[in-house]
């Protein structure tokens, strides 16, 4: 089936400087997706900088996502589209603090998300071994995100991130995870090492309960820049060939096998 979508949008924003340290932003976007949905998405934020090093930001925003073609009209051996789907809607409130030092910075974000009518893949009652899509999920997600970067030398930097949901997220395997990335630049060469950690997760499945143990993955990349327009790189994922399983409640036993070691060679040229 062929389908087309016609969208009209308009966006505006007002900046209101109350004082040297305090600025207010007011904005809104209106989207009209013909024959599917139309919504107004407001946004408001306040930025307060008491010193050059510290910045605080409080913001509230709303947004939506219309169903995509596959969710509406797919018709194959795996999925059956649902033309009666509604748009997903989210309301987000964030409190941000940023500290900017001479050679490092840190960001922290407390967030509160209200999810409305999120689309989920569910078994199709009209056919065996087939799935369809439904507006099945209304949820609240609260959590914290942290990230920081330090420049140890002019060539070496280390970046770390940490995220934790206070509630169970849509994908439970992301409830608590962290990453560390080290980059070393020397003339045309760049060496990068990265690691990802995810905490243990437990949850129900169609047949029993499943526990995903905590796991740690290590990767890396090395690249050489021939010129300003060309570069060659070698990338590796899961260097230690860690065998692990990820929790997904939509699978019968809840277990999805993780990807083993992967290696790839890339050449990039800019025109």
In tens digits, the chain (271 residues) has pLDDT values of 566 778 899 999 999 998 889 999 999 999 998 878 889 999 999 999 999 999 999 999 999 998 988 888 888 888 888 988 989 999 999 999 999 999 999 999 999 999 999 888 888 877 776 889 999 888 899 999 999 999 999 999 999 999 999 988 877 888 999 999 999 998 899 999 999 999 998 888 777 888 889 999 999 999 999 888 899 999 999 999 999 988 887 777 888 889 999 999 999 998 8
Show me where the domains of the chain are located. Answer: 1-145, 152-271
Which pLDDT value is given to residue 55? 97
Which pLDDT value is given to residue 220? 96
Q: What angle do CA 23, 24, 30 make, to 5 degrees?
A: 145
Q: Tokens for 9?
A: 């949008």
Q: What angle do CA 155, 160, 166 make, to 5 degrees?
A: 170
Q: What is the pTM of this model?
A: 0.81
CA distance 148 to 27: 29
User: Nearest Cα to 102, choosing from 55, 152, 147?
Assistant: 152
Which pLDDT value is given to residue 46? 97
DSSP class per residue in 137-165: EEEEEEEEEEEEEEESSSSEEEEEEEEEE
Which pLDDT value is given to residue 75? 85
- DSSP code at position 126: T
* Gyration radius from the chain CA atoms: 23
CA distance 118 to 169: 12
């Amino acid at each position: 089936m062929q389908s087309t979508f016609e969208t009209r949008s308009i966006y505006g924003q007002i900046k209101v400087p109350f004082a040297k340290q305090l600025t207010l932003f007011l904005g809104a976007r209106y989207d009209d997706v013909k024959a599917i949905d139309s919504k107004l998405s407001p946004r408001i934020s306040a930025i307060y900088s008491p010193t050059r090093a510290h910045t605080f930001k409080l913001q509230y925003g709303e947004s939506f996502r219309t169903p995509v073609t596959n969710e509406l009209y797919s018709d194959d051996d795996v999925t059956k589209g649902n033309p009666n789907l509604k748009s997903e809607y989210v309301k987000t409130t964030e409190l941000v603090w940023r500290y900017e030092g001479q050679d490092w910075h840190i960001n922290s974000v407390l967030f509160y998300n209200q999810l409305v009518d999120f689309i989920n893949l569910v078994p199709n009652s009209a056919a065996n071994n087939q799935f369809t899509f439904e507006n099945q999920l209304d949820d609240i997600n609260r959590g914290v995100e942290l990230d920081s970067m330090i420049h140890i030398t002019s060539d070496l930097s280390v970046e770390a991130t940490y995220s934790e949901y206070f509630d169970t997220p849509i994908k439970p395997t992301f409830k608590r995870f962290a990453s560390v990335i080290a980059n070393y630049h020397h003339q045309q060469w760049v060496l990068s090492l990265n690691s990802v950690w995810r905490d243990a997760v437990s949850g129900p499945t169609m047949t029993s309960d499943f526990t995903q143990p905590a796991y740690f993955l290590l990767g890396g990349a090395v690249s050489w820049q021939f010129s300003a327009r060309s570069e060659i790189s070698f990338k590796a994922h899961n260097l230690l060939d860690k065998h692990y399983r990820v929790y997904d409640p939509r699978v019968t036993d809840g277990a999805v096998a993780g990807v083993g070691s992967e290696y790839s060679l890339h050449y990039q040229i800019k025109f």
